[in-house]
Amino acid sequence: MTTQQEALAAYFQAQQKKASDDEQELVGLQCLFLAVGLRKLFRELGAWLHNKGEQTIRPDEVLAVLEQIRALSGPYKRTLASAIAVACGDAAVRSVESTHVMLTIGGAVDGITRPDFPAKYFEDTFHSIPVGGNLLQEWCNRAFDSLSIDKIKLEIEKGLSEFRSYQQVARALRETIPGTSSQIDTLTRTYMHTATTEGTLAVYRANSDIVTKIQWNAANEETTCIACAWLDGQRFPLDNPPPCPNHPRCRCCLTPVTDGNKYVDVSIPSIQQAARVPDTQTWFEQSDKRLESLVGPNRFALLKAGKVQFDDLVDPGTFKIKPLETLLPGQDTRKIIADLKDKGD
């Protein structure tokens, strides 16, 4: 029997998962937009170098050219920082909105405060507050400068330079694009995720009479890291949770731990219906491939034949996977599996 608290927790998790999927889509679009701008800049730089043709170039001239490229890229780096800050402002405002809708169970619960932060407030915050020890503008400068430009400089300083013409310099810089793109992608994802978390926390804090703590939730996929998996499910005070994102490209989210009093009049079926997201078990059962990769071929054979249910696979006392041999008490599980597989072939 599901308790009110369990239904609420499942509902909040489902909503945060949904919000995080939406965010990924939004971030993807934003990254695409920034990548297009980056390519345009490199095209312009390439054309500028190209005009100098096959002229030979001395090491001191290469250094001068690199400085000029830095100067030309200045406006782009500033535009980049602004574009990321604007995207963060939007993401935070959307997050305030969706977190408010979530806490009201889609409007079913009254008296949930919705803090009023304009996008500009978050935008300014992301311009002026260091994240991971650096300001946004510094991160953007680094993403742009740290690749070929520094490599070329180092080569020249070591006297290993292969650069004999402007076109060779242009070629080396072209190789920078993929690296810069992926750094900008990571930067945008991490910043926008920070913004989303700030929006979420702003709503939780404005409702600290109802939201007593936050719970950390990892994405729980193949790519989840050990630190995030360790944090998964742990609860922290509202004013001092571990920083989320926990690392670049982290996909964790924070769900509210609530004092259920506000929610006593909301029936469990209506909460479950509002979740409208399959639980983990249903998600895996939607696809045989997914389920087989989760449980392995032997347990998969037993599940498909209806010999066991998904819930039977784990020991509820220890939360550990039950050994295969104990799944069918009093029967030779291995032989049954072998027979099932023979039949399947």
Which residues of this protein are in contact with Zn ion, per CB under 5 A? 228, 246, 250, 252
- Asked if residue 91 lies in contact with residue 119, where contact means CB atoms within 8 angstroms, the answer is no
| Min CB(248)–Zn ion separation in Å | 10
The closest of 5, 70, 9 to 41, measured between CA atoms, is: 70
| Min CB(285)–Zn ion separation in Å | 26
| Min CB(76)–Zn ion separation in Å | 30
Which of 246, 270 has the CB closer to Zn ion? 246
Which of 23, 123 has the CB closer to Zn ion? 23
| Min CB(222)–Zn ion separation in Å | 14
Which of 249, 304 has the CB closer to Zn ion? 249
- Asked if residue 247 lies in contact with residue 225, where contact means CB atoms within 8 angstroms, the answer is yes
| Min CB(196)–Zn ion separation in Å | 13
Which of 34, 218 has the CB closer to Zn ion? 218
Which of 250, 303 has the CB closer to Zn ion? 250
- Asked if residue 40 lies in contact with residue 79, where contact means CB atoms within 8 angstroms, the answer is no
- CB neighbours of 108 closer than 8 A, spacing ≥ 6? 266, 270, 274
What's the CA gap between 332 and 334, in Å, rounded? 6
Which of 5, 234 has the CB closer to Zn ion? 234
Which of 45, 131 has the CB closer to Zn ion? 131
Residue tagged 């005070």 (tokens)? 237
Which of 280, 326 has the CB closer to Zn ion? 280
